[in-house]
Amino acid sequence: MSGSSPGRGGRPPVEPVAEGRPAPEASPPSESLRRAAPDLPPRAGEDLFLHRLRRLATHPGARGLRDDAAVLGGLVLTHDMIVEGVHFLPEDPPADVAWKLVAVNLSDLAAKGAAPAGCLLGYSLSTPEWDAAFLAGLEMALAAFDLALLGGDTVRSPGPRVFGLTALGHAAVAPSRSGARAGDALWVTGTIGRAGLGLALLRAGGDGPEIAAYRRPQPRLAEGRALAPVAHAMMDVSDGLLIDAARMAAASGLAVAIDLAHVPVAGDALAAVTAGDDYELLFALPPDVAPPVPAARIGSFAAGSGLTLCQGGAPVDLPPRLGWEHG
């Protein structure tokens, strides 16, 4: 979850949506749409907790806890946590876990057009060997993204490994996810679904280049900075393309339509757009504006509410779940 959007709830767990989640239990079919429309009355669990939490987050920089990050002047702040067995596999190499922890936080900064400045680490101690391998991966990630480690905290826990990172960056313009306008086009960078395929390969004992997409995502920092001055709205794709597009539309008070034929996917289209862990950028532009970075135009916004799908113009029913959600 980001510093200003606990509702994003961290990253997809260790089973792709298409295969079903081991825990928590699957939500009823309407739940994705409920959570994509944040003004609906809360029911229970995370929904209710966030509803209550928003009453405390009254500072304008919190953006109502409905964005990828908090914004204080030109400072952008985000915080994500990852949990063993939920956001990464127990068998994942510690160095890859460290990389992913850094990358998912920087993806939030990318979605606000921010240049990374520093981070604070929250670390649950493990065995000396595991800790050493994690630190080697952390050093590699910090160097790769020119990110300064500024501090943090350590704990020891008898439970699964839990890590948190707070990332800070600077942005002259930090587009929210709520700024889309009727008539805007919806765009996405990169290919959707590669991380989901990578996770499936790992669970099946296979191998392939998609595993790197799952274990070592690449935040779109340069693309975010290029898009920030022109995008009406922007967020990263963490929980699944469909659910994140629905959240952008709901935050903007609009309806969104997506043509699956135009979405660059790896593997089955519906599995790809609900799998999550992509960390691509999803953004809204005026219909006559071309993005300054490589991207695919996949849909449009209009007056109204909700998400509709088609495939080359033919209507497509929404899947039972649009992406990953906490129970």
For the chain, which residues make up each domain, given as ranges? 6-170, 185-316
Mean pLDDT of 291-319: 97
Name the residue among 152, 150, 123 with its Cα closest to residue 137: 123
Residue 158 banded pLDDT, cuts 50, 70, 90? confident
- The predicted structure's pLDDT at residue 324: 84
Q: Residue 231: left (phi > 0), alpha (psi -120 to 50), or beta?
A: beta
- The predicted structure's pLDDT at residue 2: 42
- The predicted structure's pLDDT at residue 327: 56
Name the pairing type of β-strands 255-259 and 306-311.
parallel
- The predicted structure's pLDDT at residue 25: 32
Tell me the per-residue pLDDT of 247-282, one tens digit each, with 9 for 90 and over. 999 999 999 999 999 999 999 999 999 999 999 999
Mean pLDDT of 138-167: 96
| pLDDT higher than 90, residue 183 | yes
The pLDDT mean for the chain works out to 88
- The predicted structure's pLDDT at residue 157: 85
Tell me the per-residue pLDDT of 115-137, one tens digit each, with 9 for 90 and over. 999 999 999 999 999 999 999 99
CA distance 209 to 57: 41
| pLDDT higher than 60, residue 38 | no
pTM for this prediction = 0.87
Dihedral over alpha carbons 51, 52, 54, 57 (to 10 degrees): -170
- The predicted structure's pLDDT at residue 326: 65
- The predicted structure's pLDDT at residue 309: 98
Mean pLDDT of 95-109: 98
Q: Which tokens is 320 given?
A: 């039972």
185-316 CATH choice from 3.40.50.300, 3.40.50.1220, 3.90.650.10, 3.30.2010.10: 3.90.650.10
Q: Enumerate residues 6+ apart whose C-beta is below 8 A from 183.
A: 286, 287, 300, 301, 302
Query: What counts of helices (H) and strands (E) characterise the chain?
Result: 9, 12
CA distance 13 to 141: 22
Domain 6-170 has CATH 3.20.20.100: no
